[in-house]
Structure 1
Amino acid sequence: MIFDKLFKKRQKTEVSLVANQSNSFGAFGGDAYSSEIYRSAIDAIARNTAKLKGSHIIKDELNKTTQSNINYLLQIQPNEIMSAYDFLYKIVTHLYIYNNAFVLIDRDESGIKGFYPINATNASLLEDSRGNLYIRLFIRDGEPIIQKYSDIIHLRRHFNSSQYFGDANDAIMNTLDLAHTQNEGLNVSIKSGANIRGIMKYDLVLPEADMIKTRDRFIKDFLGVSNNGGVMITDTKSSFIPIESKPINIDDKQLLAIKTKIYDYLGISENIVTSKYNENEWGAFYESVIEPIATQMSLEFTRKIFTQREIRFKNYIMFESGRLQFASNSTKINLISQLIPYGLLSINQALEILNLPAVKDGDKRLQTLNVVDINKANKYQVGEDNERD
C-alpha cells in the first residue's frame, strides 16, 4: 500500500525518546459518524470547506501567487490517490469526528512531494533528549509510526484540556444516544403497529402439534394479505380474543429538539445542511464555520511547510474562497457598481464575481472622472497649481 511504503521510507531507524508527554489523544469512543444527523451536518461543513483554494503566496502588497509545486499539490493532487477536494473533505471530516486531524508532509532534499491525511486511532507526543518533539500515531489496521511533530500538520477543535490535542466529543454523546434511541423507538413502533396480535382460544384439549397447525392455518386464512375483507370466522369450538396494540408516537418537538442540539454543537443550521439557505444564512455560516477553519489551516500549513526564515521573507499558505459566488445577483451588481467607479475592481475581477469568463485586456481598471487624487484636487477643480500654491 502507498501509506505503508511511505511510512517505512520515513520511519526512523532509532529515536532515543527519554520523556513521554502525559498528553495523548484517543479516537472518539462513540461512533458519532453513524448518526444520520451528525453525519449530514459534518458532510455539509466538509463539502463546503473542501471548495477552499490553497495557495503559496508571497505576502507583499499584491499577495503574489508563486509557481511552486506546493500550489499543484494544494489545488490539484496532494497525493497519488486524492484530489484536492477529497483531501480537504477528509481532513475536515476527521477534525469534526475526532476534534483532531493529522496530515503527514512528505518531503525530501528536493522539497515537498505530497500531503497525506492520517486516520489515527491514538496519538501521543514524545520528546527526545534535545527537546525535539515527535508524535506517535497508531494507524487503523497498521503498525504505530513515529514522526517529527514538525512534519505533521495538526488541526484541532475544542482545544482546552490537553496541551497538544483537542478534547473528545463527550459533551454530545448523550444527545447522540438519545437520537439513536428515538430512531429505534420509531422502528419498533412502526413494526408493532403493523401486526395483529391476539389469543386463539379452543374449548377442546388438542395435542400440541394440532394446536400449531390450527394456529398456522388461522394466520394464513385470516391474518394474511389475502384476507382483503378483513373478516374472520370461528366455530363454537374456538374464539379469537384480539390484543390491542397502541404504537408509541414520538412528539415532533422532541425530534426537532434533538436535531437542534446537534446542529448547535457543530455551529450549523438545518438550512445549511439541506441547502435551503439564503444569502444571509450563507454569510453567517461562512464567517462562523468555514472562515475559522480556513484561518486555522492557513496558519498551520504555513508554519509546518516553511522555515522561520522563509516566513520572514513573507512566504505563506492561504486557503480562501470566493464568498460572492453565493451572493444574489442584485448584491453582486450593487457591489460592482459601487467599487468600479473607485478603481477597486478590474474588468476581469468584476466578470469573475458574475461567474463570467475573463476577456482580453480585462486586467485594466476603470475609474469615474468624479473621483480625483486628493493631491491634484485644486488643480482639477479651479485650475490652480498645487506647487505654486
Structure 2
Amino acid sequence: MLLDGLFKKGPSQATQASLLNNTVPIFSQYGRNIYASDIVQTCIDCIASEMSKLQPRHIRCDPNTGKLLTPASNMLNNLLKRMPNPLMITRDFIEKTIWTLYLNSNTWIYPAYDVVTNSKGISSRNYTAIWPLNPMQTEWLEDASGSIFIRMTFRGGKQTTLPYEDLIHLRKKFSVNDVMGGGESGTVDNAALLKVLSINETVLTGTANSVTLSQGIRGILKVNTTIDDKMKAAERAAFMKSVADGSGVAVMDFKGDFTPVNFASKTIDSETMKFIDSKILRWFGVSVPILDGTYTDAEYAAFYNKTLEPIIISLNQAFTTVLFSPFEIANGNEVRFYQNALELTDIKNKMLICDTLGNRGAMSNNDLLALFGLPPIENGDVYYTSLNYINVAIADQYQLARAGIQSQKPTAAEEGGNK
C-alpha cells in the first residue's frame, strides 16, 4: 500500500481516552445511504467543486510591523500550491477533503514530515506530503503522560496510531459529541435528512409506477364462453387485429364484450415537488440558482457567507495549528486558503471600497489584494493616497497658497485689540 511506512509509530502503551460523558471514544463511519440521492450528490459536488478553487498559501505576518510576507523558498508552499502528495494536485486534494467532510462529518489529514536539525541544533519539520485519510473507524487513546492518540482502522483491516497533535481534524456540526463532529455517536447524523429523502423517493417511485401502469392494461375482453388458453390467445389476437386496422372501431361477434379500464396517471403538483427539493437544498445551504449557475452577485454572496466561508475559516485555523509550532505561530506563520478564483461577487462594492479607502491611504496594496482574495506581494505594505485630498485643518491655507494670497491670520496686536 502506498501509505505504508509514512505514519509515525504510536505509543506502545495506551488506553482509551476518557470523555466527559463517559462514552466509549470509538467511532465508525456511517450514513452513506443518503448519497444514493441525486439531489444530495449534486449539492455536495457543487460545494466541493467551488471549494476546490481555493489556493492555500503559507504566509508570514511580521509581528512587529504587521506586514504580510510570502516565504520565497518554501517546501510547504510548494506542496500547498501544486501537489500536496504524489497522487493529487491541489484541486483534487481539496475536493476529496470536502467530500469526506460531508460524508462523515469529520475529515482527517496527515502531513507527513521529516525532522531536520540545523547547524545551531534547532530542529524543525520538513513536510514531504499532505494526505487526506478516510478511516472506517477511529479510536481515541491516551498514554500515561496524557497525550492523545488516534488509532485508525482502514478498509481491509490495516491500522495505524498517530498523535492527535500531528493530525489536521476538520469537524462539521460539532455539537453534542465531545470530540467528533456529527451526532451524539460521533458520526454523521442524517436522520432528519433521511426522512425527507424517503418522501422524495416515494413521490418519484409512485409517479414512475403510475406512468407505467397507465401504459399497461387498457381494457378487458370478456369472451362469453368457456375456452382454454389457446383459444384465449386466439380471441385476443383477433380482437387486436380488428383494433389495428386503423379505423378506430373494433368489430366483435356476440361472444365477446370489451370493457375499457381507465388508469389516470397521477402526478405531484410542482409546488409540492419544490417544497421537498427546497428542504434538501436548505440542508446543504445550496440554492437552485447556485446549482444551475444562474445566480446573481447577491445570491452567490449569500452562498459564500453561509456555506463556504465557515469551512474556509476551519481550514485556515486547522492547518495553521498543526503545521506550525507555537513559536512559529507567535512569529506570524500561518496557512490561508485564498479565494481569489472563488469569491467573484460584489465587484462593484469592492471597487467602491478601493476608491474610498485605498485612495485615502487607509488601505495598503496588500490590504486591497486581500479584499479580492489575492495573496500578498513583496513590498506590498505600502499606503498610497490621492493628492486630491488634504487635511481639513490646513484646507484654507492650502487653497490660499495655491491662489497666491497670503493667509489672513490676525496679528498678535489685532488679537489683543479684539479681546
Aligned to 1:173: 194
**CA 1:381–1:180 in 2, change beyond 3 Å: closer, same or farther?**
same
Taking the TM superposition and a 5 Å limit, the aligned residue runs for 1:75-114 are: 75-110=81-116, 111-114=126-129
Deviation at 1:298, TM superposition (A): 0.7
Aligned to 2:15: 18
Aligned to 1:318: 336
Residue segments in structure 2 that go unaligned for 5+ positions in a row: 19-23, 117-125, 183-188, 402-406, 408-419
Aligned partner of 2:213: which letter?
A: S
Deviation at 1:291, TM superposition (A): 1.4
TM-score using structure 2 length: 0.77
Q: Deviations over 1:40-83 (max 9, x none)?
A: 11122111111111111112212211131221212211111211
Deviation at 1:186, TM superposition (A): 2.2
TM-score using structure 1 length: 0.83
Q: 1:273 and 1:7 mapped to 2: Cα distance?
A: 39
Aligned to 2:54: 52
DSSP-derived class of the 1:174 partner: helix
Aligned with residue 69 of structure 2, among 64, 68, 76: 64
Aligned partner of 1:203: which letter?
A: N
Aligned with residue 307 of structure 2, among 289, 311, 323: 289
Taking the TM superposition and a 5 Å limit, the aligned residue runs for 1:191-230 are: 191-212=212-233, 214-215=235-236, 217=237, 221=241
Deviation at 1:299, TM superposition (A): 0.6
**CA 1:303–1:174 in 2, change beyond 3 Å: closer, same or farther?**
same
Q: Does residue 1:27 correspond to 2:52, yes or no?
A: no
Aligned to 1:74: 80
Aligned with residue 123 of structure 1, among 135, 138, 156: 138
DSSP-derived class of the 2:130 partner: strand
Taking the TM superposition and a 5 Å limit, the aligned residue runs for 1:141-156 are: 141-156=156-171
More displaced stretch, 190-199 vs 82-91:
190-199
State percent identity of aligned pairs: 27
Indicate conservation of the 8 Å contact 2:101/2:171, yes or no.
Answer: yes
DSSP-derived class of the 2:294 partner: coil
Residue segments in structure 1 that go unaligned for 5+ positions in a row: 356-360, 385-389
More displaced stretch, 175-184 vs 204-213:
204-213
Indicate conservation of the 8 Å contact 2:53/2:342, yes or no.
Answer: no
More displaced stretch, 229-238 vs 113-122:
229-238
Q: What is the root-mean-square deviation of aligned Cα atoms in Å?
A: 3.5
Aligned with residue 278 of structure 1, among 267, 275, 296: 296
DSSP-derived class of the 1:244 partner: coil
Deviation at 1:171, TM superposition (A): 2.7
Please identify the structure whose Cα radius of gyration is greater. 2
Indicate conservation of the 8 Å contact 2:31/2:103, yes or no.
Answer: no
Deviation at 1:97, TM superposition (A): 2.4
Deviation at 1:194, TM superposition (A): 2.5
**CA 1:145–1:194 in 2, change beyond 3 Å: closer, same or farther?**
farther
DSSP-derived class of the 1:95 partner: helix
Q: Deviations over 1:318-341 (max 9, x none)?
A: 112138952366445544433442
Deviation at 1:17, TM superposition (A): 2.1
More displaced stretch, 265-274 vs 81-90:
265-274
How many matched pairs? 372
Q: 1:370 and 1:72 mapped to 2: Cα distance?
A: 43
